[in-house]
Structure 1
Amino acid sequence: MQRAADRDARRDPRAPRGKRLTRALVGATAVPLVLLAAGCSSGSDDSGADSGGGKNAGASSASPSVSASPTVQPAAYRKLPGACAVLSKKSLSSLVPKAGTSGKEGNSNDTQARTSCSWSSLDDNGVKGSQFRWLSVSLLRFESDVTRGEGDKLAEAYYQKQIGDAQSVEGAKNAKAQPLTGTGDQATAVGYDLKKKEGAFKQQTVVARVENVVVTLDYNGAGLAGEKTPDADALAKSAQKAAKEVVAAVASANGDTVDQPAEGPSESATASPSAKPSTSPSDAKSSKSGASAKSSGSSESAKSPAADDKN
């Protein structure tokens, strides 16, 4: 009996240890489960946050900022007048008295961008020779373009080029250039002497810019077959007045008005002897050869006599 009781007594201390061990194992097992649950919960929150951030980033990249398209100031003038109609009958009768009112229109694929006209006059004075005159008007209009720039700036660059071309004609002598006022936005007159086989020519070129249009007026004269050489100053005065008239015609075609010349070109530019004796065959042949040498001067853009020599 006693021994059995002793055995039971010895077992009793072990019994609580077994229960404690069981509880410890259960608790130890529960800790990883809690940690695992916490990790899953944390991962779920992070995933949600990333997902939300991804949405915002996607929305931001889907709508990039739109840059403004390049623009340029529209050209002021949208049309050109007919080049053969820019001078009055009175002006033409003074500048080219034997040409009549109808000029020779130059070739152009677009007359609202480029147009030109020329007139040729031969005043035959018989044995005393003949007075020859040649007049050409060229108009060039520039449109504004986003790649090239504004129309008036393009016209200004061409205006400067035309002046340079007029000053660098091969064979020109005594060249002079002077700025003009009251003729569009910019204007320059270039004059020089040119010796040709037909005679001594006096050349006057006026280049003018009004807004986005460039006007080039060429006017030259010569005394043929013994006739006296025309006065350069008189030719220059006539050319400058005519250029003002052309500029006014360009402005009028676009609804603008500018001051027109008070009177036509100087009559002295085309003065010739009043006496007209009968023409000898040799003189007539010489005069007509001079006229034909200049009558082909018109082209899509006006040419000076020197340009004919080069070609």
Structure 2
Amino acid sequence: MHRSASRLTRVLACAAVPVILTVAGCSSDSGKESGSNGSKKSGSSSSAKPNPKSSKTLAKATFATLPDPCKALQPGTIDTLVPEVKDKNGLAAKSNDLKSRAGCSWNGLDEDGLKGSQYRWLSLSYSRSDSDATLGDANKRAEEQYNKQVETAKATEGAQDPKVAAAEGVGEQATSVVYTVKKDVDSFNTTVVARIQNVVITLDYNGAAYEGAGAPDHAKLLQDAITAAKEAVASVDTANKAPAEQPASPQPE
């Protein structure tokens, strides 16, 4: 009699619990069932446990930092591309996260008397991507940024007849975009966009002639830009080496 009263009390208690909680709080008798040997087997509740292997593990980004863009190119390269450079140290672009975005630019006006003047402008920028559970793999994100930069160069305001071609030997993939912008003075523009793993390099190199000087040689502008872009790519690898792997600085004699 005592057992019947106890069981009745329990049934009434369960009946008072809201439906949403009934399964969790009052199903201890039905959550397990007896096996043939009298032992109790677990029900299907174990299937609700999260599976740690169900989420995809993203690869860690290859490059964790960016080089100083104002020091990424050799001084001799700056002198060649930008004769009479205004500031060899360059002008650093503003960035609130130098591990993800950094840039630097140089300009110079080479005056040659009655033969006129040649103006050159060089800009180098880096963009680094990390792996992100929501946004995806670091390399894939960098490739998307790479494609975006190429399209941006092709869509430059005032660009006439942009010519797009692969830039061989620059990073894992690279594209050059060459075009002319006609204003008061024609500007001959070259952009090289390159990618190495999770880092995108964008190098812009422009030239213009003043006061009767001959127009810049577009083929030479392109070749010089590709040479500089190769240095910029190599600087990414150097910046991510351990201190012991860094090339030794030349010692003064």
What TM-score bracket applies, with the shorter chain setting the length? 0.7 to 0.9
Instruction: Work out the CA distance in 2 between the residues paired with 1:117 and 1:52.
Output: 72
Q: Deviations over 1:142-180 (max 9, x none)?
A: 000011100110010111111111112222123211112
SS of the residue 1:196 aligns to: coil
Residue 67 of structure 1 pairs with residue 51 of structure 2: yes
SS of the residue 2:219 aligns to: helix
Instruction: Specify the alignment match of 1:175 in structure 2.
Output: 162
Structure 2 residues without counterparts, runs of 5 or longer: 5-26, 34-39, 246-253
Shift of residue 71 of structure 1?
A: 2.1
Contact 2:31–2:43 at 8 Å: present in 1 too? no
Question: Judging changes above 3 Å, is the alpha-carbon distance between structure 1 residues 55 and 80 closer, same or farther for their aligned structure 2 residues?
Answer: same
Instruction: Work out the CA distance in 2 between the residues paired with 1:154 and 1:184.
Output: 16
RMSD: 2.5
Map 1:109-258; keep pairs closer than 5 Å. 109-197=96-184, 199-255=185-241
Aligned residue type for 1:252: T
Query: Which consecutive aligned stretches of 4+ in structure 1 deviate over 6 angstroms post-superposition?
Result: none
Structure 1 residues without counterparts, runs of 5 or longer: 1-39, 41-49, 258-311
Question: Judging changes above 3 Å, is the alpha-carbon distance between structure 1 residues 239 and 52 closer, same or farther for their aligned structure 2 residues?
Answer: same
Flag the structure with more relative contact order, 1 or 2, with Cα contacts below 8 A and sequence separation at least 6.
Answer: 1
Q: Deviations over 1:12-37 (max 9, x none)?
A: xxxxxxxxxxxxxxxxxxxxxxxxxx
Residue 104 of structure 1 pairs with residue 91 of structure 2: yes
SS of the residue 2:78 aligns to: helix
Instruction: Work out the CA distance in 2 between the residues paired with 1:214 and 1:140.
Output: 5
Instruction: Work out the CA distance in 2 between the residues paired with 1:54 and 1:230.
Output: 83
Map 1:88-103; keep pairs closer than 5 Å. 88-99=74-85, 100-103=87-90
TM-score by length of 2: 0.76
Structure with bigger gyration radius: 1
Aligned residue type for 1:249: S
Instruction: Work out the CA distance in 1 between the residues paired with 2:139 and 2:28.
Output: 57
TM-score by length of 1: 0.63
Contact 2:167–2:192 at 8 Å: present in 1 too? no
- Aligned-pair identity in percent equals 43
SS of the residue 2:233 aligns to: helix
Shift of residue 102 of structure 1?
A: 0.8
Instruction: Specify the alignment match of 2:12 in structure 1.
Output: none
Instruction: Work out the CA distance in 1 between the residues paired with 2:167 and 2:193.
Output: 10
